Amino acid sequence: EIVLTQSPDFQSVTPKEKVTITCRASQSIGSSLHWYQQKPYQSPKLLIKYASQSMSGVPSRFSGSGSGTDFTLTINSLEAEDAAAYYCHQSSSLPVTFGQGTRLEIK
Amino acid sequence: QVQLVESGGGVVQPGRSLRLSCAASGFSFSSYGMHWVRQAPGKGLEWVAVISYDGSNKHYADSVKGRFTTSRDNSKNTLYLQMDSLRPEDTGVYYCAKDTRGLLGAFDYWGQGTLVTVSS
């Protein structure tokens, strides 16, 4: 099973700040890495697929990069509405797995 | 628009069974793999199971293998999760999710979730 480790687990940030969340895979997964946003009491929402492909309707301040074992989700100029938990997910092999999540709090 | 609506959750005693349903609309259901993902209270996401577009291929997380069975009825655009021998650690919100490909893609649409509580 491929283990995904996100960092940090929690971050408290101010609006307009730049945020970087990393996801490290226990073995190479190519670009089969996806990012989701989950706001309280809501279902997860796909933000970025295959490491860097932004989903339609997702604000341009969200971007993804990386390949192999190291991946990054970047949020430029954070907004209050970005308060949420963020999860990475690998679909390189079964069982697919998720990172433990990163919770963003807006100060 | 794409909609996934789960149902069937509830409170059940340990060792009992429950069947979840996920009604799909707004896309060609019979063309895509479908997944079940669960989330224990206050915890992260855990993948549970996947079924191929035609139901011929299924895979499960080790934590549910032998106890849970997923199936689909493409004539009814509905996905199912039969959960037997339920344990307290199976408690959580269960989501169905659409795969962007077959079995190994991103999950581009999710249902609202249905809560399963296993408790005596």
| B110 vs A: CB within 8 A | yes
Distance CA A87, CA A23 (A): 9
Per residue in B6-53, pLDDT (tens digit) is 999 999 999 999 999 999 999 999 999 999 999 999 999 999 999 999
Over range B66-89, report the average pLDDT: 98
pLDDT in tens, A38-93: 999 999 999 999 999 999 999 999 999 999 999 999 999 999 999 999 999 999 99
Q: How big is chain B by its Cα radius of gyration, in Å? A: 13
| Interface membership of B115 toward A (CB under 8 Å) | no
What is the Cα–Cα distance from A100 to A8, expressed in whole angstroms?
10
Backbone angle region of B24, left / alpha / beta, with phi > 0 → left and psi within -120 to 50 → alpha: beta
Does residue A45 contact residue A53 with C-beta atoms inside 8 Å? Answer: no
Peptide bond into A44 cis (omega under 30): no
Q: Which of A4, A37, A43 to mutate to test the interface with B (most CBs of B within 10 A)?
A: A43
- Condensed to tens digits (0 to 9), the pLDDT of residues A8-33 reads 999 999 999 999 999 999 999 999 99
> Which pLDDT value is given to residue B102?
84
Q: Measured between alpha carbons, how far is A72 from A67 in angstroms, rounded to an integer?
A: 9
Q: Is the Cβ of A36 closer than 8 Å to some Cβ of chain B?
A: yes
Q: Is the Cβ–Cβ distance between A7 and A21 less than 8 Å?
A: yes
Amino acid A39 reads K
As a whole number, mean pLDDT of residues B102-106 equals 92
Q: How far is B3 from chain A (nearest CA, A)?
A: 12
The counts of H helices and E strands in chain B are 0, 11
In the A/B pair of chains, how many CB contacts fall below 8 A?
58
Residues near B41 by Cβ (< 8 Å), separated by ≥ 6? B91, B92
B5 — contact with chain A (CB < 8 Å)?
Answer: no
How many other β-carbons are positioned within 10 Å of the β-carbon of residue A50? 16
Question: Are A82 and A45 in contact, with CB atoms under 8 Å apart?
Answer: no
